[in-house]
Amino acid sequence: MYGLIGKMLATPGNREKLLDTMLNGMSEMPGCLSYVIARDADDVDALWITEAWESAEAHKASLSLPAVQATIGVARPLIAGFGERFETEPVGGIGI
């Protein structure tokens, strides 16, 4: 399996709009075992995205899906940047 945990930074004051955009843009992504978006408890402009995939290839392929590309297009003006990014190797858990 392949995992990714990343911090996304919204433009000031737009975290909720970015969150809504990301959640409303979610659709079927083949190979995705888990995709969780969370608010950062200490940074009012930050979100954390935690993903678990069947493989790194499935994750890479998802980036070319029309629905994912459309969501990225809408979200891009709301994104100020990215923070920490960690690649992991999930081994199991609930929902995987």
3 state SS of 81 = strand
Domains of the chain: 2-88 (3.30.70.100)
Give me the tens of pLDDT residue by residue for the chain, a chain 96 residues long: 999 999 999 999 999 999 999 999 888 899 999 999 999 999 999 999 999 999 999 999 999 999 999 999 999 999 999 999 999 999 998 877
The phi and psi torsions of 61 (rounded to 5 degrees) equal: -65, -35
Who contacts 77 (Cβ-Cβ below 8 Å, separation ≥6)?
Answer: 11
Q: Which amino acid is at 62?
A: S
Residue 44, token pair as written in the block: 């009012």
Q: Enter the pTM of the model.
A: 0.92
